[in-house]
Amino acid sequence: MTNDAITQHRLELSRDGYTVIPGIFSESAIGEMIALIDSVDPTGPLFRKTNDLFAIRCFLQEVPAITPLIFTPGIRQIIRELFGEQHVPVKSIYFDKPGQSNWFVAWHQDLTISVTEKLSVAGYGPWTVKPGQFAVQPPTDILESIYTLRIHLDDTDEQNGALKVLPGSHAKGVYRADSINLNETPDVSCRVNKGSVMIMRPLLMHASGRSSNGRNRRVIHIEFSNRQLAGGLEWAEAQSGFCLGSGLR
């Protein structure tokens, strides 16, 4: 990215809570990722498969061979320039919304992190326990440290579940979705082309609709933070060997 592009994406992240960076991955690179994901046995506890959704939690751990395909020089530059040198992956999920999916997601903020075990720590809660994973809502300053990188494996628009966002809502802290007034803050649909990435802050209020055009919406979702957790809590997926200079090691 050029210096002007970096400046623009920084501005959009700060002002709007999200930005879209086009053309990061080639057609062949996306094809390699899809082929690798399709080759994985989907029967483990961290896999969820229904008629409306296929998801893989702890994605980088469950599909480790995808790591060098994701963390290209271009992605490392994005992390370094827009997040910071100390940010490492702390959570990863793969989503596939099939083309005829009736699944939709109501307005919400991403308020939980994944940790290795459940501990009673002031400021952390409530808790959610899933197979092989503990999730907890941390203090707001932890959520404000996180950047989410979404790699789009398909062209995404309003007809196949593109995210709708409320620009600037990330600056309001944690608040209830039922307080939204769309007349005051109109939503924006985030069209993202195949091979492009969307970066967003977890406190950005967002939603997604049902698919209506028969096309999949496949996304790799990776969260990054530079913060340590309190009271002995540890990030469940922290990549301690992550190095911007030479990728993951």
Reported as type and span, the H/E element at residue 142 is helix 140-143
The pLDDT confidence band at residue 101, using thresholds 50, 70 and 90, is: low
pLDDT at 215 over 90: no
- CA torsion 81-86-92-98 (nearest 10°) is -10
**What is the reported pTM?**
0.93
Pick the CATH number of 3-248 from 2.60.120.620, 3.30.300.30, 3.40.309.10, 3.90.1520.10: 2.60.120.620
Please tell me what DSSP assigns to residue 23.
Answer: -
- CB of 146 closer than 8 Å to CB of 202: yes
The pLDDT confidence band at residue 248, using thresholds 50, 70 and 90, is: very low
The pLDDT confidence band at residue 247, using thresholds 50, 70 and 90, is: very low
- CB of 58 closer than 8 Å to CB of 223: no
Query: Mind listing the pLDDT tens digit for each residue in 17-49?
Result: 999 999 999 999 999 999 999 999 888 888 877
CA distance 148 to 198: 8
Domain boundaries, given as residue ranges, for the chain = 3-248
Q: What pLDDT does 22 receive?
A: 97
Q: Which of 98-102, 125-129, 222-226 has the lowest mean pLDDT?
A: 98-102
- Choose between 189 and 245: higher pLDDT: 189
The pLDDT confidence band at residue 52, using thresholds 50, 70 and 90, is: low
User: 58 is written with which tokens?
Assistant: 């702890």
